[in-house]
Chains A and B, each alone.
Chain A
Amino acid sequence: DIQMTQSPSSLSASVGDRVTITCRASQSITIYLNWYQQKLGKAPKLLIYAASSLQSGVPSRFSGSGFGTDFSLTISSLQPEDFATYYCQQSYSTPLTFGGGTKVEIK
């Protein structure tokens, strides 16, 4: 099974900050990496697919990068509505696996 390790597990940041979340796969998944945002009590929302493709309708302050085993999600200027939990997910092979999540909180 491919293990997905996200870091940090939580972070505190201020509005306007640049935030980067990393995700490491236990083996190469090429670009089969997606990022989701989840707010309390809501279903996950797709932000980035195929490592770096921005889902239509998602603000351009979100970006993704990486290939192989190391990936990152960057929010260039954190907005109040971005405080949420973020998950990476590999879709390279079953069992499909998620990272443990990164909770972004207000400083």
Chain B
Amino acid sequence: EVQLVESGGGLVQPGGSLRLSCAASGFTFSSYDMNWVRQAPGKGLEWVSYIDTSGSTIYYADSVKGRFTISRDNAKNSLYLQMNSLRSEDTAVYYCARDRASSGWLNWGQGTLVTVSS
């Protein structure tokens, strides 16, 4: 069974940092591109970042470019999101999702809540 489990969320002050992790199991992690998506409270879905299988191709939403860094460790079956210079508008549930290119994102984690507040 495919599982994606996010962790690392919590309460952080504006300007602070947080590192999210997404542990993958049940599939060959190294064969799939991955994404981070977030959802602010009561709002819609916002794509945050994409990384290909090797980590050589990476994209970010403009809203996080220069502050967030996506990475992966295929040996550990894990995806990461390093979030720096956090702002109140970064408050959201963060999901990792397995990318199947033109076949949509079938598998998502349960999400981890990041709250940026003083």
A: residues with CB less than 8 A from B are 31-32, 34, 36, 38, 43-46, 48-50, 53, 55, 87, 89, 91, 94-101
Contacts and interface: CB of A to CB of B under 8 A. Distances in A.
What band does the interface of chain B fall in when counting residues whose beta carbon is under 8 Å from A?
A: 20 to 34
B109 A43 contact: yes
Given A31-B102, A49-B100, A55-B106, 5 more contacts: A36-B105, A45-B108, A89-B105, A91-B102, A95-B59
B26 interface: no
B104 A43 contact: no
Contact of A34 (B44, B50, B95, B104): B104
A34 B103 CA distance: 8
A96 B50 contact: yes
B114 to A, nearest CB: 16
Nearest to A44: B108
A89 B35 CA distance: 13
B110 interface: yes
